[in-house]
Structure 1
Amino acid sequence: MSFITLQDVSYKYPLAKTFALKHVDLSFEKGKFYGIIGQNGAGKTTLCNLVRGLVPHFYGGSLTGKTIIDGTDVKKWDTDQLATQIGYVFQNPFTQISGVKETVFEEIALGLENLGIPKDEMIERVIRVCKLLKIEDLIKRDPNALSGGQRQRVAFAAIIAMDSDTLVIDEPTSQLDPEGTADVFAIIQLLKEQGKTVLLVEHKIDLLAEYADEIVVLEKAQVAFQGPAQEVLQNPTLLEHGAQIPQVALLGSKLKEKGIGLAHIPITQKDAIAAIEERLGGES
């Protein structure tokens, strides 16, 4: 059953001449990991802002159609209540740090303070999430003096500590190195295993292929594709819509063109190895 549903949604920011979202129909189920892809300006961040309630409550503008979140139209949601259900990690970590706390520990605990979480539980949650994200060494640091990658981790930690049922995450690895990126995806996978719903905007298509249940492709403010990751990411026509496909899917398509077809077009390295071994085994 859908937890978030968009029905013929169109949205235009104040003073904008073009739509940021146009006639969008989408549905998101609880407990699934959704990868959201598309070229810059396709509407990915606007979709995140809508699901989080920043559209229309913060940005204003013109919103038509219906956006139903847990049975209630987003226009009728109280934004503070919605914030307890849906955590949002912004694309730019510099905009997510509050600027009013002197230590990383206090920064991560800020949202819990606002929720009135008891002090002992608050301390336990902050310590646990710092260990999870491997940022224990930052706890006493000034959050306003951190690098972009460090701020990204702290922003992520603050949202995870809130223990929201749904997380909307806008390019969390944009300022992280490969090791940090791998850590973030491992954490997102763990959150999914805990039953969280994850909507992730990300350009690292090979990692999305490995972790995501479903993929949403946006193009020019509209939905070009939505479906299971295996089905969507093996489609070479994604390239014509400003989206990428995994390298192994490109390989699978090329092999098929040359008459060396595999049982199916793989989207992960593990899947590719299994498909090639199966093909070789069939020829022996």
Structure 2
Amino acid sequence: MKAIEIEGLSFQYRNQEAGYALEDVSLNVEEGEFLGIVGETGAGKTTLLSAMSGVIPHHTNGEKEGVVHVKGKPVEEYASLYEMAVDVSLVLDSPENQLFNLHVFDEIIWGPENLGLDREEILDRGNRALELFGLEGFEDRITYNLSGGEKQKVAIASIYALNPDIVLLDEPTSQLDPIGTEMVFEAIDKLIEEGVTIVMVEHKIEEMAKYADRIAVLQDGSLRRVDETCSFFLEGDAHGIAPPQVTELGQRLREAGVDDVAVPLTLNESIDEYTRLLQRRGIK
């Protein structure tokens, strides 16, 4: 069974004067996959996540065509966003908008408490989230005194405590520095290890190239291309999405006639490949 199935999805917001935010989008997300979604501002990325999470149509109204299935069930058949949160949860770009409690542990267990779970299960989920995301010792920390990366890790940990099969992330590192960004991607990597399906909108291509299984590009509300990450950046039209800098360097070396270089996607790959390249030329 697919984690998410979208067929012929079009959506126009109420009071939107002209055009669709999404137009005839069809896309499947496999269970356990990390799908990255890229595109310019206004391309429809957040709207697509809203449709996947059930925000459309349960919260945001407009003219909708097509179908969205989550774990084989049409989103309209869920009674509410509250019910959907058990299967699919959304992490926003600003963690401040998702933190409701004063202390970290209270924040992490807030979702399971609202699900009405018994106390032992709530505490087990909270402690597991602390351990998984490296937040031991943070239990009594004040959430609003945390760094940006720490806040986003807590937000992701609180989503994990709900035990959803699918996590959607809408530019979760947009307000973070490189250290905070790395903290968030390390947290996401933990989710991947747990078998959680990830769909992530993100502008930081280097990180997407490192972690994502496939890349989808949206342009003017339409899905232009979906491909495995390696093929997306190394083969065919990337529709204006610049590759990672280390990849671009490899491509330029190839264009300059350096045929024995393997074009890398990640920083670690580039260090290994460019070190070998220099060694083959007798440069240490």
1:254 aligns with 2:252: yes
Distance 2:281 2:149 in 1: 49
Does the 8 A contact of 1:234 with 1:266 survive in 2?
no
Q: In the TM superposition, what is the alpha-carbon distance from 1:59 to its structure 2 partner?
A: 0.4
Unaligned runs of 5+ in 2: none
Distance 2:132 2:194 in 1: 14
2:115: which partner in 1? 115
1:243: which partner in 2? 241
Number of residue equivalences: 280
Q: In the TM superposition, what is the alpha-carbon distance from 1:169 to its structure 2 partner?
A: 1.0
Q: Which residue, 272, 276, 281 being the options, matches 2:270?
A: 272
Does the 8 A contact of 2:254 with 2:261 survive in 1?
no
Q: In the TM superposition, what is the alpha-carbon distance from 1:190 to its structure 2 partner?
A: 2.0
Distance 1:267 1:183 in 2: 20
Greater shift, 176-185 or 196-205, is seen at 176-185
What TM-score results when the alignment is normalised by the length of structure 2?
0.88
Match of 1:164, SS? coil
1:151: which partner in 2? 151
Match of 2:122, SS? helix
1:193: which partner in 2? 193
Match of 2:10, SS? strand
2:57: which partner in 1? 56
Unaligned runs of 5+ in 1: none
Alignment of 1:102-181 (within 5 A): 102-136=102-136, 138-143=138-143, 148-181=148-181
Q: Give deviations 1:88-146, integer Å, cap 9, x for gaps.
A: 11122232233xx4433222212101112221231232233234434455533454566
Match of 1:25, SS? strand
CA RMSD of superposed structures (Å):
2.5
Alignment of 1:1-16 (within 5 A): 1-16=1-16
Q: Give deviations 1:18-50, integer Å, cap 9, x for gaps.
A: 311111111100011111111111111111111
Match of 1:191, SS? helix
What TM-score results when the alignment is normalised by the length of structure 1?
0.88
Does the 8 A contact of 2:250 with 2:261 survive in 1?
no
1:87: which partner in 2? 89
Greater shift, 29-38 or 268-277, is seen at 268-277
Higher helix share: 1
Q: Give deviations 1:198-224, integer Å, cap 9, x for gaps.
A: 111111111111111111111111112
Identity %: 36
Do the aligned partners of residues 56 and 275 (structure 1) sit closer, same or farther apart at CA in structure 2, a change above 3 Å counting? same
